[in-house]
Amino acid sequence: MKRLVLAALLLTSCGKTPAPQESPLATITEKATALQPELISIRRDLHRHPELSGTERRTAGVVAERLTALGLEVRTGIGGHGVVGILRGGRPGPVVAYRADMDAVVGQEPPGREYGSTVPGVQHVCGHDLHTAIGIGVASILSSLREQMPGTAVFLFQPAEENIQGAQAMIRDGALVDPRPDVIYALHSFPFRVGTVAQGAVFAGLDQFTLELTGEHATSAVAQRLQARLSEFGTVAPLKQAEQVAPYLADIQKPGGPYSTAIYMNVKISPSDVPTRFLVRGTVKASSDSMYPQLRQSVKEAVERELGATGYQLSFRDAPFPSMSSDPQVTAGAAPTLAEAVGEGNVLTLHATHIYSGEDFALFLQQLPGTMFLLGVANPARGILGAPHFPDFDADEESILIGTKAMSSVLWQRLSQS
Ligand SMILES: [Zn+2]
């Protein structure tokens, strides 16, 4: 059945009986395999030259050069260093967008890596170097099939994901205009076993508060007491040890598991530039955005209970940052193709919000239906945990082939629908 669906994708629309053709998935797999060494070398080059949010000049240059060489219409400087590549197929069809993020994070990479960071204090520990390489891979494959490709593919290479600024900036600069995509897809590295891809990702949003203690409350003892009280709202602790990762991955695949309704609280005492004040700052993440109003109320009441009505100021960010919630219908629409691309047994399904990270792909999903897949990059036998933001993060580069063929197949399948 799945094969029949894919075989139908290459049928011509002119009503003639089409000549038998190779399954597009076979073609895509062949092309992705041939591209793999080049994509690995792109990934390693980006890994050696990581750039922090908002400074992705070199990375954007690499992307723009590649997309231009592939014959895409390329727009640069979109939302900072964002790059938009537009690939118009030879046949009519929908507009399908694909987003890859490009930025790196602060941190010192463990020494001795063959393709280690050459920039002190900056490293790719969130896999955005892989995402960029895979985005270039998908653009390469679809551009090589351009004549028979229906519709238009729009590639969004996004800067500044880590500080959740880039998606909004790209949208503001018209990344989703002319052409306006009908749907959007993305992928993120995750510590699942290499070879697997998880569908249905939801990443938690966040809320933030600042409690400014003044007058008699401006003491370190009061700040510590409030820190302890407010931390009690958290129901889950952050993952700090490698051994915590596998049980967590199992939990988020369980329907009704411990992460179906969870709250993560990170409360810190911050230095104040005014010696007579103490600042207690909190980041709140919840498994559902609907929990934030009640959480704000609970924080206010707890502060009032501890401190009374005066001697402090409690403020929240304007509005909680939204969760990144994959659209179930878009996810389901891609499922048969994903299963065929990576093998049915290699598709994982998520049943809980990933609470420890956010994703500003959320803002694209406020504009368009779409979904994010999680790409397994772990290889325990090679000592690769694959957990983003762990300081020793690395990825099995076989995942570049998996991601490229899976995303090319999913995009092709969606482009082939009206
Ligand atoms: Zn990331």
Q: How far is ligand 1, taken at its centre, from the CA of residue 406, in Å?
A: 19
Q: How far is ligand 1, taken at its centre, from the CA of residue 416, in Å?
A: 29
With beta carbons less than 8 A apart as the criterion, state whether 341 and 31 touch. Answer: no
For residues 1 and 214, give the distance between their C-alpha atoms in angstroms, rounded to a whole number. 68
Q: How far is ligand 1, taken at its centre, from the CA of residue 116, in Å?
A: 18
Q: How far is ligand 1, taken at its centre, from the CA of residue 126, in Å?
A: 5
Q: How far is ligand 1, taken at its centre, from the CA of residue 386, in Å?
A: 12
Q: How far is ligand 1, taken at its centre, from the CA of residue 192, in Å?
A: 15
Q: How far is ligand 1, taken at its centre, from the CA of residue 52, in Å?
A: 12
Question: CB 251: neighbour CB atoms within 10 A?
Answer: 16
Q: How far is ligand 1, taken at its centre, from the CA of residue 355, in Å?
A: 14
Q: How far is ligand 1, taken at its centre, from the CA of residue 91, in Å?
A: 34
DSSP-derived 3-state class of residue 284: strand
Cis before 179? omega within 30: yes
Q: How far is ligand 1, taken at its centre, from the CA of residue 187, in Å?
A: 9
Q: How far is ligand 1, taken at its centre, from the CA of residue 104, in Å?
A: 8
- Is the dihedral angle over the CA atoms 255, 258, 261, 263 positive or is it negative? negative
- Residue 332's identity, in one-letter code, is A
What are the counts of helices (DSSP H) followed by strands (DSSP E) for the chain? 11, 16
Q: How far is ligand 1, taken at its centre, from the CA of residue 276, in Å?
A: 38
For residues 340 and 160, give the distance between their C-alpha atoms in angstroms, rounded to a whole number. 33
The closest alpha carbon to 373, from 345, 354, 397, belongs to 354
- pLDDT at res. 23: 67
DSSP-derived 3-state class of residue 243: helix
Q: How far is ligand 1, taken at its centre, from the CA of residue 329, in Å?
A: 24
Q: How far is ligand 1, taken at its centre, from the CA of residue 217, in Å?
A: 39
- Please give the structure tokens belonging to residue 133: 């390489």
For residues 185 and 337, give the distance between their C-alpha atoms in angstroms, rounded to a whole number. 14
For residues 43 and 45, give the distance between their C-alpha atoms in angstroms, rounded to a whole number. 5
The closest alpha carbon to 139, from 414, 415, 407, belongs to 407
Q: How far is ligand 1, taken at its centre, from the CA of residue 143, in Å?
A: 26
Q: How far is ligand 1, taken at its centre, from the CA of residue 7, in Å?
A: 34
For residues 213 and 330, give the distance between their C-alpha atoms in angstroms, rounded to a whole number. 47
Q: How far is ligand 1, taken at its centre, from the CA of residue 24, in Å?
A: 30
For residues 92 and 150, give the distance between their C-alpha atoms in angstroms, rounded to a whole number. 5
Q: How far is ligand 1, taken at its centre, from the CA of residue 36, in Å?
A: 22
Region of 409 on the Ramachandran plot (φ > 0 left; ψ -120 to 50 alpha; else beta): alpha
> Please, what are the averages of pLDDT over each run of 10 residues along the chain (418 residues)?
34 36 83 98 98 98 98 98 98 98 95 93 97 98 97 98 97 98 98 97 97 92 96 93 93 90 95 82 97 98 96 96 98 98 97 95 98 98 93 95 98 94
- pLDDT at res. 418: 76
Residue 147's DSSP bridge partners are: none
Q: How far is ligand 1, taken at its centre, from the CA of residue 188, in Å?
A: 6
Q: Position of tokens 């118009």? A: 88
Q: How far is ligand 1, taken at its centre, from the CA of residue 336, in Å?
A: 26
DSSP conformation letters of 122-160: EE--SSHHHHHHHHHHHHHHHHHTGGG-EEEEEEEEES-
For residues 82 and 51, give the distance between their C-alpha atoms in angstroms, rounded to a whole number. 13
Q: How far is ligand 1, taken at its centre, from the CA of residue 300, in Å?
A: 32
Q: List strand residue ranges (DSSP E) for 194-346, in order.
A: 197-199, 202-203, 207-213, 263-270, 278-286, 312-316, 324-325
With beta carbons less than 8 A apart as the criterion, state whether 326 and 407 touch. Answer: no
Q: How far is ligand 1, taken at its centre, from the CA of residue 273, in Å?
A: 32
Q: How far is ligand 1, taken at its centre, from the CA of residue 131, in Å?
A: 9
For residues 62 and 68, give the distance between their C-alpha atoms in angstroms, rounded to a whole number. 10
With beta carbons less than 8 A apart as the criterion, state whether 187 and 131 touch. Answer: yes
For residues 417 and 124, give the distance between their C-alpha atoms in angstroms, rounded to a whole number. 36
Q: Structural domains in the chain?
A: 2-7+21-203+322-415 (3.40.630.10), 213-246+263-316 (no CATH)
Q: How far is ligand 1, taken at its centre, from the CA of residue 358, in Å?
A: 8
- Please give the structure tokens belonging to residue 248: 């967590």
Question: CB 366: neighbour CB atoms within 10 A?
Answer: 12
Q: How far is ligand 1, taken at its centre, from the CA of residue 128, in Å?
A: 6
For residues 161 and 360, give the distance between their C-alpha atoms in angstroms, rounded to a whole number. 6
- pLDDT at res. 17: 38
Q: How far is ligand 1, taken at its centre, from the CA of residue 161, in Å?
A: 7
- Please give the structure tokens belonging to residue 177: 């205009």
Q: How far is ligand 1, taken at its centre, from the CA of residue 376, in Å?
A: 14
